Amino acid sequence: MGHLHCARFDDPMTHLHEILYCSVLAPDLEPGIVGKLVGQARARNAVRQISGLLVFDGLRFCQHIEGPPRELMRLMDRIGQDPRHTDVRVVYEGALDARRYRRFDMGYADIEGPSAMAGVRELDGAEALAHFLALRSGFDVSG
């Protein structure tokens, strides 16, 4: 997987934006589709200067994405309309000074059980983001 070379294309004058959302796998789909989804997302994100982390517990997603605002908004529109998941809820969105996921076009963490991300779903805004970032160090991320 090609790593992003953000130092090269993140001009200090370029603004960055971040979005954290949660959603639920569509009821008719097998969890196995997620591997393919991640592969496609990585290839697309690499060319759009988007990086981030997708966490999946077998039923629910939380995804944190970052990049140039225009690209990020376009991506979030597409993600919001994607029939492979439902109940898409943005819990945090805002400007960002420096990337948090320099190494990942889209890191992926497969976690056990619904409780791990419950706090992220129940909280909102900056509190939800802080909770997700605190959990992040405990995830086994593949990139």
By CB under 6 A, residue 85 contacts ligand FMN: yes
Residue span binding ligand FMN (CB under 6 A) among the ranges 71-79, 94-102, 109-117, 122-130: 71-79
Q: How far is the CB of 76 from ligand FMN (least distance, A)?
A: 9
Binding track, positions 39-58, relative to ligand FMN; x by CB under 6 A? --x--xx--------x----
By CB under 6 A, residue 79 contacts ligand FMN: yes
Quickly list DSSP for the chain.
Answer: -PPP-HHHH--TTS-EEEEEEEEEE-TT--TTHHHHHHHHHHHHHHHHT-EEEEEE-SSEEEEEEEE-HHHHHHHHHHHHH-TTEEEEEEEEEEEESS-S-TT-SSEEEE-SSTTTTHHHHHS-HHHHHHHHHHHHTTS--B-
Among positions 113-142, residues that touch ligand FMN (CB under 6 A) are none
Residue numbers of the site for ligand FMN (CB under 6 A)? Answer: 23, 37, 41, 44-45, 54, 61, 63, 65, 75, 78-79, 82, 84-85, 106
